Amino acid sequence: MQFPKLNLHIHSNYSDGKQTIIKIVDKSLKLELEYIAITDHFTNSWKAWVSKLNNNEIITEYLREISICQNHLIRNHKHLTLLKGIEIDLASTEQFIKKRLKADRFELILFEYLQSYETIAFVKNIVHHWKKQIIDKNKFPVLGLAHFDPSYFILTNLDVLMRFLKEYNIYFEFNSSYPSFYSPKYKRFFDKLREYEIPVGIGCDSHNLKSLDNYGEPLEMIKYYNLERNFDILINLLDFKYKNKQEISI
Ligand SMILES: [Zn+2]
């Protein structure tokens, strides 16, 4: 089975990445990647300084830049699907997230630092808010957990976590920058992902062009834990929503 080359976790110079969006897209084309997502930080926690995406004007400019690249790819029939993403720091305040972020402007939203059952309740609250706002279900973004660390949950009843991921259709990210998170000591966690058919994806947490195609090791881990079907579920979801996107007016 041939899996697509993808990296759904990339930072540009809108947050702590080194490169412009256009250079990232250009290099991804050269590397023959098939799916990428620009996912800059969104936060008002202690690390708010890492990102410029904290007001509507800059978010609009960021999305506009990605749209221009998306149109360019579509117009030139390139085999690269580019997604408008963002990575929400769950240490941000509820008010900041609800007020500043309109979820239907994005195609992929990552949550970082899901480390407790209290934070699961926080995410549910945010997603419910978005569900009320977004009437057209096709405009609802794909949701994922960025560099999720299983150690916070491994000693608990994993079914509660799995039911949450299943119900809210949130995928688990194999992140090449955090290989310790897919250590065999978490086998029970990965077995549960398989049992519940939770989608899994790959993100390289790229902050420069060199790490854009670091998807090899995560892919090996997906095979090691027999999660190919889970990976397939995510690809199908991305294809269903974004593969045949039309050019949009900017
Ligand atoms: Zn990141």
User: 64-91: per-residue pLDDT in tens?
Assistant: 999 999 999 999 999 999 999 999 999 9
User: 37-72: per-residue pLDDT in tens?
Assistant: 999 999 999 989 999 999 999 999 999 999 999 999
CA of 89 to the centre of ligand 1 (A): 9
The rounded percent of the chain whose pLDDT value lies above 70 is 100
What residues does 171 pair with on adjacent strands?
144
Assign 1 a pLDDT band (cuts: 50, 70, 90). low
CA of 197 to the centre of ligand 1 (A): 24
User: 179-201: per-residue pLDDT in tens?
Assistant: 999 999 999 999 999 999 999 99
pLDDT, residue 248, reads 83
pLDDT, residue 25, reads 98
What's the average model confidence in pLDDT over 145-161? 96
Q: State the residue for tokens 């410029």.
A: 52
CA of 161 to the centre of ligand 1 (A): 22
Question: What is the enclosing helix (H) or strand (E) of 22?
Answer: helix 21-30
The rounded percent of the chain whose pLDDT value lies above 90 is 94
CA of 212 to the centre of ligand 1 (A): 13
User: 155-170: per-residue pLDDT in tens?
Assistant: 999 999 999 999 999 9
Q: Is the pTM of this model over 0.95?
A: yes
Q: 147 in helix, strand or coil?
A: coil
What residues does 122 pair with on adjacent strands?
none
pLDDT, residue 235, reads 96
125-155 burial, b for 16+ CB within 10 Å, e for fewer?
ebbeebeeeeeeeeebbbbbbbbbbbeebee
> Cα-flanking dihedrals φ and ψ of residue 153, to 5°?
-120, -10
Assign 21 a pLDDT band (cuts: 50, 70, 90). very high
User: 205-236: per-residue pLDDT in tens?
Assistant: 999 999 999 999 999 999 999 999 999 999 99
CA of 11 to the centre of ligand 1 (A): 7
pLDDT, residue 2, reads 81
pLDDT, residue 93, reads 97
Please give the mean pLDDT across all residues of the chain.
96
CA of 179 to the centre of ligand 1 (A): 14
What's the average model confidence in pLDDT over 91-120? 96
169-188 burial, b for 16+ CB within 10 Å, e for fewer?
ebbbbbbbebeebbeeebee
Residue ranges of domains in the chain, CATH in brackets? 8-243 (3.20.20.140)
Is residue 35 within 8 A of residue 42, CB to CB? The reply is no
